[in-house]
Chains A and B, each alone.
Chain A
Amino acid sequence: MKRLHQPLTSLIDETRKVTFSWEKKEFTGFKGDTLATALHASGVKTISRSLKYHRPRGLYSLDGEGVSTMVEVDKMPNTRAETTQIKNGMTALAQNYTGSLNFDLKGINDKLSWMMSAGFYYRMFHKPEFLWKRVIGPIRNTAGTGKLDMDHDYGRQVEERFLHTDVCIIGGGPAGMTAALAAAKTGASVILIERRGQLGGFYSWRTALINGLAAVSRGRELETQVRAVSNILVLDNTFAMGVWGERQVTAYRKGKEDEPFFEQYIEIMSGSVVSATGCLERPLVFEHNDRPGVMQADCAHRLAHQYGVSPGKRIAFSTGDNLSLEAAADLAKLGLKVVMVADSRESGHDPELLKELDKLNIPVWKNYSVSRIWGQSTIKKARFTDIKTGASTIVVCDTMVTNAGRTADVRLLSTAGAKVRYNKNLGYFEPETLPENVFFAGRARGFESGVNIEASGYHAGLDAAQALGFAVESFRKEKVLENEVHSPCLIARSSYIGKGSKSFVCFDEDATYKTLVQGVEAGMERPDLAKRFVSVGLGAGQSALPGSNLSLLLSEITGKYIDGFRPTKVRPPIEPISLDTLAGPNHAIFKVTPLYDNLIKTGANMQRMGIWKRVKYFGEDPSCKEEVKNVRNNVGITDVSTLGKFRIFGPDAKKVLDRIYINPMSDFKEGMLKYVVALNQDGCLLDDGVASKIGKEDYLFTTSTGHAAKTIEWFRFHSRYENWQYNIVNLTDQLSGVNIAGPNSRKVLEKLVDIDLSRDAFPHNGIQKASILGVEAWLMRVGFVGELAYEIHLPASAASSLWDVLMEAGREFNIKPFGQEAQFILRLEKAHVIIGQETEARVNLLDVGMGFAWAGKDIGSRKVGAYALEVAETQSKRLKLVGFTVDDPEEFPMDGAVIVRGDNDVIGNICSCRYSQALEKPFGMALVDESLSGKGSKLEFFQDGMNIKDRIRATVCDTPFYDPRGLKLKA
C-alpha cells in the first residue's frame, strides 16, 4: 500500500524496505515501521484474539498498553506489535486462537458470553467440591496468552546499569525536555527517560504551530538542546517501571541495533524526580468498542503522520478533546476521508480548529458520541447518539477514532505513593499530595497549550534542583502563560449502549459494562473490589487503559460521588518487563579456595555450598569408602580453607570473647586451643570453633564456614552498649587451611617443619607457629575426624604450593585427599556435632550433650544465651541428641526421617545417618523425645516412600561410635 507523505513528522525510511513474515506469509514494510503499522499498511487489521471471548482485536493506541496487540515475534511470545520495530527476516505469529486467526474456533465463547457473568470463576464450580477439581485444570489452561519454546535458545543478552543523578525526569516530551534543560542549567546532573525512540512527546507527530514553529520542529529544537548539554543523560527507548522510596527509579531499556544488549535493567538513585508523563486517552465505552478499526485519536494521528499509513478509507471520529479535532483536520489535509466528528463535549472546542474543520467540510456534531458499531473484523457502520436527547443517526464508516477525552498519566506517581483525586474542572485524576522531592509537570497538570506545557516543565525542573540546594533564582522566569479554557469530557461511556454486554471496559480481560453492573449488584461497588471481581485492569496492561474509567463508571452506576472512587493503587511494574531482564545477567558469583585447581586435578567433585564451591567427594564413589578408610588407617588431606578465621585484639578483646562464647574465658593456656561455642539468646547453638591467645591482648579464633560472614556483626551487635576497645579483622580469605589427618599425619608433617611434633611437645588441642618452606604458618592439632590430625593455616597465596608439597611428602604413606562427605562420616563416627545438622531452632547446648562447654552460672559477663540455659536446665520433656544403630543392616534411613511412636505421634527426627565401615551397619544421630533417649531405647523411623505401616527400627547406643576413649585422637 502506498504511504502518505508527511516528511516533517515521518519516522519511516521509504528507501529501505524490510521483509518479514506474519502468520507464515511474507510482508514488507519500511525501516522505522512497527509490526502493527506495517501490518496495518498491508491491510491486516486483526492482529490477535482476545483472552476470554476470542474476539478479533487490532491496533488501538500504538503504545502497546494492552494485550490486544501481543504477538509472538521470533518465538518470543507476548511481544507488543505496536512498539516492536520490524527487522528483515523477523517471524511473527498471532496468539490465542484455535484454527486460524480469522476463523477462531474458540470464538464460540463470544456467543456464550451470557453464561459468564461477573465473578463467574468465584461463584461457579466450588460446590460440589469434586466439580472444582475437574474444571480447575481446563480453566487454568485457558488462562494466559503465548507460550515459550523451552527448547529454543533465545540468546537474549541482558544487562544491569546502576545510575545516580540529582534530578531524574520521566517523560521526554516538551515539559520533560524543558524541565531537564532548566535543572541542568543550575548545575544539577539530570537523567531524562523517554519510552519512545525519540524525544518530543506529543509534539513529535504534530504540525500545529507552537510560537510560530511547527510542534514537531519545536520538539526537535528542544531535543537538540537537551542532547547538547553534558550534564543531561538521555535514556530513550527506556520504560520507567516505578518510583520508590528515596526516589529510586527503576526502568528498562530496549537495546538498539548497535547496542550489545537486548534489554538493560536500570536502577536510578535520584535526589528529585519530575514526572512529565503527559496524558492518556481514556477509552470510550460503547457497543463493540474493541473491533479492529476502532482506535484512539493519537493512534490515527501518528499512523498517518509518523508512518504514512491511512487509518482507513472512511474515518469517523467520536472523541472529546481538542487534540482529536486537530487530528481529524490533519488526516483530512492528507487527503483522507474524514466523514464526521462527534464530540461528546457541549463546549470548550478550539474555535480555530472548528473553523478549519468547517473549511475541510467535516461536520462536527457537538454533544454526540458513538453508541454502537456493526461489523466483525472490519467496521461497516456506526450509530451516533445525541447524549441529551437520545436521537440516533447511522453513519457508514470503516474506521472509528475514539476517546473519552484525556486524563493525566499518574501511574508512576501512584507507585511513588501519591494519592490521586478527581478534578472536575479538568476531568482528570490528579495527584492530591506528592512525596518529598517529587514533582509533576506538563499536560498532566491540565495544560493544553505548548507554551504553558513548556513553562510548567521549566519551573518543575528548577523546583527539583532547588529542593536539592541548587541556586535557581537567577534562572527563574516570569511565568508567561497562555489563557486556557477547560471544558473536559466528563463521560466514560456512551449513554445508549443498552446492557452493554459488548461494551468493553477492559480489553485485556474482556470485562464489559454489563459485568461491571453485575459486580455492583453483587456488592462490589468499590474500585478495589470491582477490579478483582470483574477483572478490570488485572491484565498485562496494568490498568493503563481502563484504570480511570473504572472509577468513573462505578460512580455513575452507583450514583455516588466520584471522590469516593479513586483509582486503585497502580501495581508495578508499570511497563511489563521480561523476567530474564529483571533477573539480570547470569553471572554466578561464588568463592573458591586457593586449592581449587589442586583439588580439580585430583578428581574432586565440586558442589556449591553456600557462597563456596567445595569438594563433595573425590573420584567415582559418592559413599567415599576409600577416603574414609585411608584416613582411619593411613593419612588423608583435605581443604579447610572455608573455615572462618579472625584476629581480635585490644584491651577489651577478652571481654567480648567472654560475652559471645559460652565457655569460660579465664583459662587460656599458652600454646593451647580452646574449643568455643557461641549461642543465640535462646541458648541454641549458633556456631563453634577454636580460640587461642597469640599475643598480649591478641587472639586468633575460628568459626564455622557458614557463620564466618556474620561474625563481626554478631560481635559488634552484642557489645554495642559497651564502650569496649577492641579491633577485629576477618582473616577467612587471608589464611588458607589444609588438614592432614590419620595415624601417619605426624610423619608427613615432620618432613616439612622444624618444630617438635611429638605428643608431649605438641599435644592434642595445641597450637604453634612454624615456618614451612619460608612461609609462616599456624599449626593447630585438632581432631574433628577423630584421628591424629593437624590443621595448617597459612597465607592463601602459598596454599596451592603447600598442597603439592604435602602430597609429595605423603606419597610414601599413600596420602589421599578426602572431601566433605568423608569428613561428615568420620566426624559422625566420633559423634562430633555439626551445628545446623544435629541442631535446630528448638535445641540448646544442653540438649545436644555439650553442657561441658558452659562456664556455668553467669557471674557478670552476660554471656549470650546463658540466661536461657539457666532456665532450660530444669525443664523436662526436651528433645535430646542420641546416637543409634539401625537393627537391620540392610535398611538405610535418610537424614530427616521422622521418629514415630504408634501411628501418629512424631517424637523426633534423624539428624544424620550414614553407613559405618567400623560398625558395619548404618548408624547416626537423632533428636528424640527425652523419654526415648536412654541407651537401649527402641526407635522407629518413617520416611518418604515407605508404606504407611512400615518402619525402620534402630536402637539408641552410646557415643562416640569410634575410639570412645580418644586414644587415636590424642596419639
Chain B
Amino acid sequence: MNALKRVLPSSLPAEIAEMEERNNYSIVLKYKNEMENSPWIVDLSHCVKLDFQCNGNPETQAMGMDLPKKAGRAVCSGEWLVSALGPSQFSFIHILGKMVELPEDHRFTDITDGRCLFAMGGNGADRLMGKITRMNFSDSTLELPCVLQGPMLHTFGQLYILEKAGQKIFLLSLGRGYARSVIHAVLDIGAPYGLTPSGLDRFTQAVTK
C-alpha cells in the first residue's frame, strides 16, 4: 500500500494553475486569475511548525538559532520564523514550507498539523486585517517581525507580522479545526476589497524580496 497521503485542513476556492507534491502534500503554487495589485491570501498550513518550551531552564538558543528575548518579538533566522509566545514558549515556523528534519531535542513538539496557517499581504491587506482582528497590529511601536496573540474572527490565535520591501505580510495561525470556517469568513470579508486566493509562489516571492 502507498504511504498515507497528507491533506491540508482547507482548500482555497479558486482554479489551480500549477501545483506540486511536497512532504506528501499537494501544494498549489499558482492559481489562475491571481491579481497583481490586490490583497492576496496563501495557505501555508503545510509549513513545519514546532513548539519549543523550556520552563525552568531559560534558553537563549534552540536548533542553533537565537531565541527572541521578549514575548511578542520574533526573528527571521534563515528560512525559519522564530517567535516568543511567552517567557519560556517559542514557536518555530519554516516559512518556506520545505521538508525539514525534526530536531531531537525533546523540548520541541511537532505541531505542524495542529495549526492552520494563512498568509495575507498585498495592497490593502492591513485594512482587511482591521476587519478580522481587534489586535493592535498597526501599533507604530511594534518592532517587526513580531507575534500578537488574541482574537481573530473572535477565535484565539496568533498573528505573525513580517515586513518585506516596506509591505506588511500577516500570518494568521489558528487551531487546524477552524481552517475552513476561518478561510470562508476571511474570503467573504475580503471579497469586496479584491482579496484573491494565491499560490505558494506569491508568498515565496513576497518574503524573498
Contact = CB atoms under 8 A, between A and B. Distances in A.
Interface stretch (A336-344, A621-629, A727-735, A919-927): A727-735
Interface string B183-201: 0110011001100000000
Given A726-B55, A801-B5, A585 B188 contact: yes
Interface residues of B, number: 53
B127 to A, nearest CB: 9
B113 A797 contact: yes
Contact of B4 (A612, A725, A730, A805): A805
Interface stretch (B64-72, B129-137, B162-170): B129-137
Contact of A733 (B7, B51, B57, B114): B114
A260 B193 contact: yes
Contacts of B22: none
Nearest to A736: B113
Given A732-B175, A774-B3, A805-B4, A589 B55 contact: no
Interface string B30-51: 0000000000000000100001
Contact of A612 (B6, B9, B56, B177): B177
B131 A775 contact: no
A733 B115 contact: yes
A799 B20 CA distance: 21
A75 interface: no
B3 A162 contact: no
A801 B7 CA distance: 8
B4 A733 contact: no
B124 to A, nearest CB: 12
Contacts of A272: none
Contacts of B114: 730-735, 796
A379 to B, nearest CB: 48
Interface in A586-608: 587-594, 596
Nearest to A751: B1
A733 B154 contact: no
Interface in B1-19: 1-9
A718 interface: no
A560 to B, nearest CB: 46
A66 to B, nearest CB: 33
A695 B193 contact: no
Interface in A789-829: 795-802, 805
B106 interface: yes
A222 interface: no
Contacts of A585: 185, 188-189
A589 B153 contact: yes
A896 to B, nearest CB: 30
B157 to A, nearest CB: 11
A203 B159 CA distance: 44
B123 interface: no
B181 A733 contact: no
Contacts of B154: 589
A801 B24 CA distance: 11
A164 B126 CA distance: 12
A287 interface: no
A587 B192 contact: no
Contacts of A796: 9, 113-114, 176
Contact of B51 (A161, A695, A729): A729
Contacts of B55: 650, 725-727
B209 to A, nearest CB: 24
B182 interface: yes
A88 B110 CA distance: 60
B61 interface: no
B22 to A, nearest CB: 12
Given A594-B7, A729-B111, A798-B6, A164 B178 contact: no
Contacts of A594: 7, 9, 176
A73 to B, nearest CB: 23
Contacts of A647: 109
A164 B138 contact: yes
Interface string A252-268: 00000000110000010
Contact of A162 (B88, B107, B133, B176): B133
A775 B5 CA distance: 10
A722 to B, nearest CB: 12
Chain A contact residues: helix, strand, loop or mixed = mixed
A162 B130 contact: yes
A157 B4 CA distance: 43
Contacts of A163: 130, 138
Interface string B87-110: 011000000000000000011011
B54 interface: yes
A591 B6 contact: no
A596 B178 CA distance: 12
A707 to B, nearest CB: 15
B60 interface: no
Interface residues of A, number: 55
Contact of A795 (B113, B181, B184): B113
A585 B153 CA distance: 10
B109 A729 contact: yes
A22 interface: no
A161 B6 contact: no
A197 interface: no
Nearest to B89: A727
Interface string A150-162: 0000000101111
Contacts of B6: 797-798, 801
Nearest to A266: B130
A260 B9 contact: no
B25 A797 contact: yes
Nearest to B178: A591
A887 interface: no
Given A647-B109, A695-B106, A733-B115, A590 B4 contact: no
B155 interface: yes
Contacts of B178: 589-591
Contact of A260 (B7, B88, B192): B192
A348 interface: no
Contact of B177 (A592, A695, A728): A592
A797 B10 CA distance: 11
A730 B56 CA distance: 19
A649 interface: yes
A190 B55 CA distance: 41
A160 B131 contact: yes
A450 to B, nearest CB: 33
A283 B106 CA distance: 74
Contacts of B153: 587, 589
A835 interface: no
B41 to A, nearest CB: 15
Contacts of A157: 192
A509 B140 CA distance: 48
Contacts of B83: none
A696 to B, nearest CB: 8
A81 to B, nearest CB: 28
A587 B131 contact: no
B176 A589 contact: no
Contacts of B134: 162, 267, 269
A775 B175 contact: no
Interface string A188-201: 01000000000000
A772 interface: yes
A895 interface: no
B180 A189 contact: no
A611 to B, nearest CB: 8
B139 interface: yes
Given A594-B176, A729-B109, 17 more contacts: A162-B134, A189-B140, A261-B192, A587-B188, A589-B153, A591-B178, A725-B55, A727-B53, A727-B55, A727-B107, A729-B53, A731-B111, A731-B114, A732-B175, A774-B4, A775-B3, A795-B112
16 contacts: A159-B189, A161-B130, A164-B136, A189-B138, A589-B153, A591-B175, A592-B177, A612-B177, A727-B55, A727-B107, A733-B115, A734-B112, A734-B114, A797-B8, A797-B112, A801-B7
7 smallest CB-CB distances across A and B, nearest first, come from A591-B177, A725-B56, A734-B114, A260-B192, A727-B53, A162-B134, A774-B3
